Chains A and B, each alone.
Chain A
Amino acid sequence: MSVGIVMLVHTAFGRAEQVIRHWAASDCPVVIHVDRRVPAKTYNGFVKRLSDLPDVAFCARHRCEWGTWGIVAATQDASEMMLERFPQVRHVYLASGSCLPLRPVQELIDYLAARPQTDFIESATTTDVPWTIGGLEHERFTLRFPFSWKKRRWLFDAYVALQRKLGLKRRLPAGIEPHMGSQWWCLTRQTLSAILQDPERATYDRFFSKVWIPDESYFQTLARLYSRQIESRSLTLSKFDFQGKPHIFYDDHLQLLRRSDCFVARKIWPYADKLYDAFLTDEAGAMKRAEPNPGKIDRVFAKAVERRTRGRPGLFMQSRFPAAAQENGLTCAPYSVFEGFSDLFENFETWLAKMTGARVHGHLFAPERAEFAGGHGTMNGALSDSAKLRDRNARAFLSNLIWNTRGERQCFQYGPRDKRAIEWDLATDRNAQISVITGAWAVPLFKSNLNFADIRKEAARLQKVESAHLDVLRSQWSRARIRVWTMAEFVEAPMEPLQTVIDEIGQQSARGLAEVPRMTDLTGFGQFLQNLKNQGMHPYLMGDFSAEPMVEASEPARKPYVVK
């Protein structure tokens, strides 16, 4: 009878009764506090049902509203009753009606008996912990909170703001240093009675009764005054999410709880029959004797909180739709955009696919259709190649494409002939790696069989579009990794830029480029540009090409060579 349980109950009385009987079966006295808001009928029924247990007592009732003094007052009364009625009790364990003992009670008794002077109470100074919600850390102790946070949120916030503005502050009683921590503790008789019988208790009570969430600071602060040995952790496994609500355990957490080796867990969903069945039968639920190890549960809940606060970057869905600039990435993985390469090289796409193992698409934003790799009509995620579907929401098309192909690098071609709706999204996306050969759009015109007047018109249009596009890429808002070469530059020494671009994709072999793509025959291209100039259309984006036949530049096209 060395461990006494103080239990705060306000709901799920059937479950509370089960747990109380479980404690009582191991000779642990239980003092119960029932919230005063519980109807008399329910309360009386509860008392009556437990009347067969000799070592179960009920203390005076207080109103327990979350974040208010009532919970502390309840704990004080119940603890006093415990210390007075059950003199053999050495440790008092504070639990709630939705706490569930995970290990046989005898193990807890033995564990505490082996540590007779130790107080288990999580207690940290306000400056050191990032737990608090709503920005109230030290201010919990220095402001006043007369309005209910749950029911009068607006007044609560307004009054806090007013006090901040006026610089109103309460003075802390002498000799205490505010500490905070989990509400669920286990204190020795010595410490607990010292707190409860302190001559200054009236002063402390008056102070803490106006502190915000005193149940997380009253005992945590005062224990520091008297405890001989504090273990600053709670024996109750209780996890809180980012809004300060406790995580709830369900039937499917059974294995997780079994492996936690914790003594008591909170909070259990009242309808979790499997959990109650498993843990309230001593032998079957027995776990090996071990130090509590809630690491795995920590990870599960930490992940849940991260999912809620950060989400999966690059995913847009029904419950994650970040406002512009909040999305933490339009796409979920890096991808490459090539502009002008497939105009300049005849087999660029197949070559790139071979060199990098990436999926290489054609012009995804071509006016006619999305040119998926291999010419397919649909691709991962059942994404359609229909231009109308794509243009309905080009942004979503891109983020879907990258999301659907997670784990596989995507490359696609882009150019001034394509739909422009996407260009800002590309330029501002950190995951985009954009390589541009300016002016290469002239090559298909050069090879085409159009009338020169039409060529001139089209060249003028494309040049205008590409020039505007380059302005976008060079704008201060662009965050993509962008490389731009003029066509003349590129043709002169194509190996180095190609190598750079391939390196960035980072999937080819370390031996360097085994093969180069076949450059289209540019004989006469200089003259073609000169003709455009002569017609009054000045092509400037491709750089300087002389009107002479370009022998050197087309050399690699005639004779592919191997670089070590």
Chain B
Amino acid sequence: MSLWQSYRMRLRRKHARARAFRKHFSLTPVVNRTRAIRPGDILLFSTFRNERVRLPYFLRYYREMGISHFLMVDNASTDGGRDYLAEQEDVSLWSTGASYKRSRFGVDWLNWLQSRYGHGHWTLVVDPDEFFVYPFCDTRPIRALTDWLDVSSIRSFSAMLLDMYPKGTINATPYSAGQDPLEIASWFDPGNYTIEKNHFYGNLWIQGGPRARVFFRDAPGQAPALNKIPLVKWHRRYAYVSSTHMLLPRGLNLVYDEWGGERVSGMLLHTKFLDTFPAKAREEMARRQHYANSKEYAAYSEGLAEQTELWCKWSEKYINWRQLEILGLMSKGNWA
């Protein structure tokens, strides 16, 4: 990489951090319990809006995994989610009424919180509908993974987004608070993902899955990106550039092997497609606060109006991480 290029990268990173600084003024602390964070704790960062029904299971899942503290940003929820979280002992909560879109879909807010509270910690950035899965997650807590990554001098960990969906129409089975969403949305596309390399940032650009297959079959270029790097040993100089798809400095994006080997990687089970989704899609269509003018949601509401079924004959039912490993969606790498 030429000096000029690395200078440009540096400017971009600085820019992202400056944005984060600017946007943090719109965050109002609701409860700040970050004094409870101990060195070595693994922290979770998340933004949400009207996800009250999902929060109980979300917290339970990640507490069991070994997350010590949750740092959450509430973007103007009206369903009581804020009050629920404010009561939780391991949650620090901020709220904002500012534009989701103009904080680059929450990235600016979280970049700020991460640089303020995440420095030196392993940080996991996920949405309330994303469930992190990694090799041996059924027998080893997340600290086993981060300890191993530390020993291996690995700073960032890839987990591709895997869209989960129910069999039948999306709103056929109602979801109730505290329930494991994977009981309903338990199916996924096992082998229709395409990968390109983004030579500018060095990350992989992955597309495919049910959203590409059903909603974007005539415009596959616009299908949502599925590559994510949610788990990073944070340093205050780091910055997410676009959602958790890519980071700066660029070295953090090299989560893949280019010589034929496999690095260790995980999965984010994305349980967006529950019965709560149609209402959400309508709301997001009206707010137009999502990526590319919510094109994605436009495609959904078109597709969903016809009661589209995402399930197909070749959908696979989720069992455990080993199944994902065998299918080649994630890898143990050299972690045994």
Which residues of A line the B interface, CB within 8 A?
241-243, 245, 247-248, 250-252, 269, 271, 300-301, 303-305, 307-313, 315-323, 326-328, 376-384, 386, 388-389, 392-393, 396-397, 400, 403-404
Contacts and interface: CB of A to CB of B under 8 A. Distances in A.
B217 A388 contact: yes
Pairs A-B, 6 closest by C-beta atoms: A381-B191, A308-B334, A304-B336, A319-B265, A393-B194, A396-B194
Contacts of B5: none
B147 interface: yes
B271 interface: no
Given A318-B195, A381-B314, 6 more contacts: A311-B257, A318-B256, A320-B256, A379-B314, A381-B190, A386-B217
Contacts of A245: 151-152
B256 A321 contact: yes
Contacts of A301: 336
A118 B259 CA distance: 44
B193 A400 contact: yes
Contact of B330 (A247, A309, A318): A318
Contacts of B87: none
12 contacts: A250-B139, A308-B257, A308-B262, A318-B265, A319-B158, A319-B330, A321-B195, A321-B258, A378-B314, A388-B218, A389-B220, A404-B191
Contact of A389 (B144, B204, B213): B213
Contact of A248 (B151, B192, B255): B151
A260 to B, nearest CB: 14
B218 A318 contact: no
Contact count band on B = 35 or more
A269 B227 CA distance: 30
Interface string B60-101: 000000000000000000000000000000000000000000
Contacts of A251: 139-140
Contacts of B329: 317-318
Contacts of B316: 382
Given A382-B314, A384-B213, A320 B140 contact: no
Contacts of A386: 213, 217-218, 220
Contact of B191 (A305, A327, A380, A389): A380
A400 B147 CA distance: 34
B257 A378 contact: no
Nearest to A396: B194
B143 interface: yes
Nearest to B66: A271
B311 to A, nearest CB: 9
A3 to B, nearest CB: 30
B148 A248 contact: yes
Contact of B334 (A269, A307, A312, A376): A307
A392 B220 contact: yes
Contacts of A393: 194-196
Contacts of A305: 334
B143 A271 contact: yes
Given A271-B141, A379-B314, A382-B191, A309 B218 contact: no
A400 B192 contact: yes
Nearest to B140: A250
B35 interface: no
Contacts of A404: 190-191
Nearest to B190: A381
| Chain B interface mostly | loop
Nearest to B333: A308
Contact of B140 (A252, A308, A321): A252
B75 to A, nearest CB: 28
Given A379-B314, A389-B212, A315 B328 contact: yes
B221 to A, nearest CB: 7
A545 B313 CA distance: 47
Nearest to B267: A318
B263 interface: yes
Contacts of B260: 309-311, 313, 320, 322, 326-328
Nearest to A383: B192
Residue in A245, A377, A384 with the greatest tally of chain B CB atoms within 10 Å:
A384
A386 to B, nearest CB: 4
Given A389-B212, A397-B194, A303 B330 contact: no
A243 B152 contact: yes
A300 B336 contact: yes
A102 B22 CA distance: 57
Given A380-B314, A388-B219, A311 B204 contact: no
Interface in B238-264: 255-264
Nearest to A393: B194
Given A382-B312, A389-B212, A392-B221, A320 B261 contact: yes
B136 interface: yes
A392 to B, nearest CB: 4
B97 to A, nearest CB: 36
B104 to A, nearest CB: 23
Given A382-B312, A386-B218, A322 B259 contact: yes
A386 B206 CA distance: 18
B115 interface: no
Contacts of B330: 317-319
B190 A242 contact: no
Nearest to B325: A307
B38 interface: no
A318 B204 contact: yes
B218 A320 contact: no
Given A317-B330, A320-B331, A382-B210, A392 B194 contact: yes
Interface in B129-185: 136, 139-141, 143-144, 147-148, 151-152, 158-160
Contact of B336 (A303, A319, A382, A397): A303
A232 B312 CA distance: 59
A300 B64 CA distance: 28
Contacts of B265: 317-319
A382 B263 contact: no
A328 B331 CA distance: 18
Given A271-B143, A388-B218, A316 B262 contact: no
Interface string B188-230: 0111111111000000101100101100011111000001000
Contacts of A328: 260
B7 interface: no
Interface in B307-336: 312-316, 328-336
A381 B326 CA distance: 13
Nearest to B189: A382
A272 B73 CA distance: 34
Contacts of B213: 378, 382, 384, 386, 389
A311 B265 CA distance: 13
Nearest to B152: A245
